[in-house]
Amino acid sequence: MTLKPIRVEIDCVFQCPTCNTETWHTIRELKHRKHLDCPCGSKTHIEPVHTVEVTYAGRATQAFDSAGKQSGPTFPLDDFVASLVSLGHKTAEAHKLVETHKDTHDGDDGKFLTFLLTQGTSR
């Protein structure tokens, strides 16, 4: 049996200025934190994470029109939902974003994911 990841978590890595210990925190965790406590006892203020650059690497398939002519690659919308969920969006919210904006998809998957992320943060 071959397993595929169910989601991807993006981590921010911080290094304690006192002891150089590295700690990893997901974007989701950092939404609710203003400081980090290191095991050495140091308490450090953290900068908020405003943007994350994402390169989408989903699987493209060839699309065909009604005449059977190749009309270019298409990208499974579920891949975009999974990408949004891994960045902290709730599943229902991610589905709604993709469904609402799927007609704006121009075949450039990286631009579309960036567009979805922008739409999801401008509330």
pTM (two decimals) = 0.46
Residue 14 has pLDDT above 70, yes or no: yes
95: its two tokens: 């589905």
Count other Cβ atoms within 10 Å, centred on residue 119: 14
What pLDDT is recorded for position 123? 44
More confidently predicted of 73 and 94: 94
pLDDT band at 75 (very low <50, low <70, confident <90, very high): low
pLDDT tier, 41 (very low <50, low <70, confident <90, very high otherwise):
very high
Residue-wise pLDDT tens digits, 81-120: 887 887 778 889 888 888 888 777 776 777 777 777 777 7
Question: What pLDDT does residue 46 have?
Answer: 86
Q: Over the chain, what is the mean pLDDT?
A: 77
Residues 6+ apart with CB under 8 A from 8: 82, 83, 86
Look up residue 2 and give its two tokens: 């071959």
Task: Tell me whether residue 94 is exposed, middle or buried, using C-beta atoms within 10 angstroms of its C-beta: 0 to 12, 13 to 18, 19 or more.
Answer: buried
Cβ distance 24 to 35 under 8 Å?
Answer: no
